[in-house]
Amino acid sequence: MFSIDRLRALAAVAAHGSIAQAARTLHMTPSGVSQQLAKLEREAGHPLLQPHGRTVRLTHAGRVLATHADRLLDQLAAAQADLTDLGSDVLGPLRIGGVGSAVRTLLPDALATLAAEHPRLAPTVVDGEANELLPRLLDDELDLLLVESWPTHPLAVPGGVTLRTLTSEEVYVALSAHHPLADRTTLDLDADLDGLADTAWACCPPGTEPHEALLQTFRARGLEPEIRYLLADHVTQLALVARNLTVCLVPARSRRPAPTGVRFLPTRPALRRDIRAAWLTRAEGPPVRACLDAVAAVVATATGA
């Protein structure tokens, strides 16, 4: 019979790629994790780890057992959550991370609902991009994320993370009213994008979902955008657009507030962005579910659903 604690240690090493990082996640010492894994190897009858430079990687047997460990831990967490739900209130900390547009447009009303309905819940919020927030979710520093995913660059998450699409919205090309294309009603990506390849673009920094989506939109047509302004905030991007210094991609949710003199052109074919919730499957509990329900209600009200 395998020990749950030893299986949890193996799952942590599989998720984080090193004994040191697994130890930090489990609040143990590296030597403690190594001892657990050594005992698990004896129980399994197979080597589970092998040296890989300064770190370790799982053997085939280790990967097989880690897969079963993840499933077992998820089932145990679900059982614990079900028991906690029996007569329990929604209370305690709830650590939320989200992209700025989702935080600005979805969370205020959702947090107000949570404060009214669950006064013993204590949410905290940080903003950032998915590439910054996902590692914090995996390291158990955050409980729930509101992140974006673009069809041209779908958000990739590791096993053990649950994704739920909250809303999908159209993406526009924002340009100055003085731009040569400003009189268009629609921007044809296949016919017009070549004319924008030499235009200065503003975009979120490299590694973020919007940056990669912009690159893929161009590269799918054999083009490369000239990205001159790396700005995380759409409001700042639009301030430069208004002065005819740049153009940018802006999701519908981020069009307000916009300065005077900015045109938003829909594209053909249409570009879209999804806002998705992400959380650790085995860490789902009443606070996460309450927040998901509150955000879903905000989305339903905004869309008239």
Residues 6+ apart with CB under 8 A from 282: 73, 74, 76, 77, 78, 160
Q: Is 229 in contact with 242 (CB distance < 8 Å)?
A: no
114-144 b/e (C-beta count within 10 Å ≥ 16 → b): beeebeebebebebbbbbbbbeebbeeebbb
What topology is assigned to 92-167+274-303 in CATH?
D-Maltodextrin-Binding Protein; domain 2 (3.40.190)
Answer yes or no: is pLDDT of 53 > 70: yes
Indicate whether 94 pLDDT > 60.
yes
Reply yes or no on whether the pLDDT at 251 is more than 80.
yes
β-bridge partners, 247: 201
> In 3-state terms, what secondary structure has residue 128?
coil
Q: In this prediction, what percent of the chain has a pLDDT beyond 70?
A: 97
Mean of pLDDT values over 20-40: 89
pLDDT for res 223: 94
At the top level of CATH, the class of 4-85 is: mainly alpha
Q: Pairing relation of β-strands 144-149 and 92-98?
A: parallel
- Of 27-41, 147-161, 248-262, 263-277, which has the strongest mean pLDDT? 263-277
pLDDT, position 109? 96
pLDDT higher at 296 or 57: 296
The whole-angstrom separation of Cα 47 and Cα 55 is: 16
- Indicate whether 97 pLDDT > 90: yes
Using one digit for the tens of pLDDT, what is the confidence trace for 35-45? Answer: 998 898 898 88
> For the domain 170-272, what is the CATH code?
3.40.190.290
Residue span(s) of the chain under CATH 1.10.10.10 come to 4-85
Assess whether pLDDT exceeds 90 at residue 125. yes
Instruction: State yes or no: pLDDT of 176 exceeds 80.
Output: yes
Q: What is the SS3 assignment for 250?
A: strand
Residue among 143, 51, 107, 34 at smallest CA distance from 275: 107
Is the pLDDT assigned to residue 149 strictly greater than 90?
Answer: yes
Q: Where in the chain is the domain with CATH 3.40.190.10?
A: 92-167+274-303
- Would you put residue 270 in left (φ > 0), alpha (ψ -120 to 50) or beta? beta
- The label of the residue with tokens 């029996």 reads 86
pLDDT score recorded for residue 74:
85
| pLDDT of amino acid 303 | 67
Every domain range in the chain assigned CATH 3.40.190.290: 170-272
CB atoms within 10 A of CB 260: 6
**Residue 203: pLDDT over 70:** yes
